[in-house]
Amino acid sequence: MSHDTIAINRRMDRFDRHDSVWLFGYGSLIFKADFPFIERRPASIGNWSRRFWQGSHDHRGTESAPGRVVTLVPELGATCHGMAYLVTPEEFAHLDHREKNGYLRLATDIGFEDGSAIEGIVYIATHENAAFLGAADERDIARQIAGARGPSGPNSDYLLALAQALRELDKPDAHVFAIERHLGELLAQQLT
């Protein structure tokens, strides 16, 4: 599958007749909401884990030196915490473009902190897309992030903003925080 998924996502019409749809964000959508929304709430989805396994050729890296950004991978019993946004279906044209580098719009159950849940949408880059980089040692991921830069800025800014957003939500993520720690060690070594 191509890493440009705009056309595929435009065919996803499950929520087109709805006045509003909940969108679950687990990466940059937590800290960078560059679209209008009706409401924003901390939320989670079950049986998925956040991983820095997706290549970024368009935002945090280039074709020749991709950065790494998060996607979700299935993990039975896991919970991925993030932020949910209530949006109108018209916002998906912008979001499909923003998430075009391998991410597919999928329906999912979104849970809220008050115990309620609703069906909504999440963008996930599966292993079948051309930009998928897959699993790697967290230290190696940090090294790749430290050296990557794209039109949206340094890849390290993405990692650090995500880690900070998760702290503000009080939702630790061992994978994200380990990569952040390794990145800090790499940057400290460069200063000495």
User: Cβ(159)–Cβ(179) under 8 Å?
Assistant: yes
Residue 79 has pLDDT above 60, yes or no: yes
Strand-strand pairing, 117-124 and 21-25: parallel
What is the CATH number assigned to the segment(s) 6-191? Answer: 3.10.490.10
- State yes or no: is 91 an active-site residue: no
Domains of the chain, by residue range, sit at 6-191
- Contact by Cβ (8 Å): 121, 105: yes
Whole-prediction pTM value?
A: 0.90
Mean pLDDT of the chain: 90
Could you tell me what percent of the chain has a pLDDT over 90?
73
Structure confidence by residue, pLDDT tens digits, 80-138:
999 999 999 889 889 988 888 889 889 999 999 999 999 999 999 999 888 999 999 99
104 within 8 A of 9, measured Cβ to Cβ: yes
Catalytic one of 75, 99, 128, 180: 99
